[in-house]
Structure 1
Amino acid sequence: MKLPPLKALPVFEAVARLNSFSLAADELAVSQSAVSHQIKQLETYLGEQLFWRSGRTLSLTDEGRQYLDAVSSALLQIERASEQLLGHEESRLRLSVFSSFAVRWLVPRLPYLQRLHPQLDLALEMSSGNPVLSDRVADCFITIRTDAPAFSYDKLYEERLFPVCSQDYWKRMRRELGRDDQLEVRDEPPLSPEELARFPLLSTHSIFDRATGDWQAWYDAVGERLPGGVRVQHFSHMLLALEAARFHQGVALTNDYMLSTRRDSEDFVRLPSHSVATGDTFYFAWKTSRRQERGIQTLRRWLVDEAIRSRLRAS
């Protein structure tokens, strides 16, 4: 087995992560010249330049970035394997997760996870978009991308949107539409798209990355066009649109995981109308080479079980 200078690998990882020879030297408690020597030794062995150096600026080359992904993963696996043999039961994991999914679905369930698996030390990394799937970012991910070949995926949820409003706003809508206010929502006749267009629509830009894209998709689903005179209030994120709906400002389109707690079910009314699929499917993703790690598999099984229990995913 032909291996590179093994002492140089943690040094390379530290320099790349901290983007600094001096900071890496401080972290590793060695001199800066010792760090430089280890990096030079590794570059000589590989026959590739790993860093671009320009004055005080340091950056990874393309070859260095590719090598870092492999080295970081290998060092993490060595650390996890050693912890298991040493009898350290605690599993430390970084989970990268969309902010809305974290706030509305995951965080309220964390106390249950902690009671069930107290050995699991979970750190959440908030993601506003699709993160790069890499050990440098997190140990595992909740993502809608499945194009990273080094990763495995388990489906959690296929997103669909449906209209909601506050309890008080639904009473107002009933009055203006001349509906019987004694009926339960489940017994109500469906709202037509024309009826809904009489009220302010709260739109989330980030769902389809275009203005009013969510409501256009909802109307398209039944072969109709969004009426030209409809009042639309725009929001960048579904969390904001849903809060506006909570405070009686109109009707918002939301999904199942945003209304997954008892408080939400009491605050909001799901209107009697159709839903529309966004085309996004949420997956739990982990590095295939790390599939034997106890912590990752514990978290994977718990997430899938919770998705089934909360009816995000069919059993």
Structure 2
Amino acid sequence: MSRPPLQALLGFIAAARTGNLTRAAESMHLTVSALSHQIRGIEERLDRRLFVRGARGVKLTEHGQALYDRVAPHLDAIEQALQPRMRRRDDALAITLMPSFASSWLVPRLPGFLAAHPQLEISLQSNVGVVDFARDMEIDAGIRFGPGKWPGLEAVHLFDDWMTPTASPALIERLGQPTLSNLRDFPLLGAPGGRWSEWFARFGGSPPDRFVAIFDDSENLHRAAAEGMGIVLGRMTLARPLIEAGRLVELFDERLKTEFAHFLVYPSRSRDHRGLALFRDWLQEEAARYEASDAMTGKRSRAPRKPARTGSGRRTRAVR
């Protein structure tokens, strides 16, 4: 059997990563017809179907995924080995981070950093996936919410986070102020791996039989609560801007510490990056200031809240 053409494998990898034959063909400077012919040649060679084609693009079959898992790392290694080892500019800094953290925490503070260091050019790349620093050589560091241990990376702890039930003022006005004992009777919003059960076990009451809605995205989860859909076990880093804007209200003094924390992570190649050193020092100062604030304490201090009331002056109750 003849050796498989490298160009066809490159086309296969491009199609697998983009999920779109048109974009993959453009990246390879081919026509869609030519790329399809190359992929069809691999399929005929293996006597296996590699893609399922649909209206929105292509998706790997089980056999396609197996081929991708075996071939992609080797092609990436070849590409990396042939790339010139150029030193990164010390006045240019590329950071990857979660979109929710960027909008709720970093971006509002970033103007102060840039004003203090006008010589720096910073690039923020929002990404919810895992970043391969060995492959993505243009990225200098990342900010992630996790356990703090990433193989091969240095991790600098920034701050922990806390959770507490929050809701929109409109929802409280409509249904009344919940207590720890009757919280389960109110519309609650859930998330995969959420910690409502732990909240109830620690502070009293019992979990609901069902959630009004479940979200797999933290930012949309908090936005849904701000729109009055239900009560969220809000993570303070995300909830705080909405609270300060008057769109969410903390319902209780009690707070639950999150399982993970926020970290700055970077590969060894970025250790001597001057721009990153400046950013790291500033980030740690901002994180320490934030962690010492009321937003990041285990129990907040505030004046007793007056019960929410309806227009008639009577407090309403949630219906189970």
Task: Give the TM-score range, shorter chain.
Answer: 0.5 to 0.7
Alignment-derived partner of residue 141 in structure 2? 140
Where do 5+ consecutive residues of structure 2 fail to align? 1-9, 15-25, 30-39, 44-67, 297-320
1:79 aligns with 2:60: no
AA aligned to 2:270 is R
1:170 aligns with 2:172: yes
Alignment-derived partner of residue 105 in structure 2? 105
**C-alpha distance in 1, partners of 2:242/2:258?**
25
Question: Which residues of 2 match residues 48-59 of structure 1 at below 5 A?
Answer: none
1:201 aligns with 2:188: yes
Displacement after TM superposition at 1:284 (Å) = 0.2
- Please tell me whether the aligned partners of residues 133 and 148 of structure 1 are also in contact (alpha carbons under 8 angstroms): no
- Please tell me whether the aligned partners of residues 189 and 221 of structure 2 are also in contact (alpha carbons under 8 angstroms): yes
AA aligned to 1:139 is D
Where do 5+ consecutive residues of structure 1 fail to align? 1-14, 27-53, 85-89, 178-190
Displacement after TM superposition at 1:227 (Å) = 3.2
1:159 aligns with 2:140: no
Displacement after TM superposition at 1:294 (Å) = 0.5
**CA RMSD for the aligned pairs?**
3.9
Displacement after TM superposition at 1:167 (Å) = 2.2
**C-alpha distance in 1, partners of 2:162/2:42?**
49
**Secondary structure, in 3 states, of the residue corresponding to 1:253?**
strand
**Secondary structure, in 3 states, of the residue corresponding to 1:142?**
strand
**Secondary structure, in 3 states, of the residue corresponding to 1:197?**
helix
Aligned residues: 239
- Please tell me whether the aligned partners of residues 246 and 267 of structure 1 are also in contact (alpha carbons under 8 angstroms): yes
- Please tell me whether the aligned partners of residues 199 and 231 of structure 1 are also in contact (alpha carbons under 8 angstroms): no
Displacement after TM superposition at 1:279 (Å) = 1.3
AA aligned to 1:304 is Q
1:181-216 CA-to-partner distances (Å, cap 9, x unmatched) read xxxxxxxxxx31x321121001233xx2xxxx3322
1:282 aligns with 2:262: yes
- Please tell me whether the aligned partners of residues 222 and 239 of structure 2 are also in contact (alpha carbons under 8 angstroms): no
TM normalised by structure 2 equals 0.61
- Please tell me whether the aligned partners of residues 154 and 285 of structure 1 are also in contact (alpha carbons under 8 angstroms): yes
1:222-256 CA-to-partner distances (Å, cap 9, x unmatched) read 4764132x552222212222222212222111112
**C-alpha distance in 2, partners of 1:153/1:127?**
18
Alignment-derived partner of residue 249 in structure 2? 269
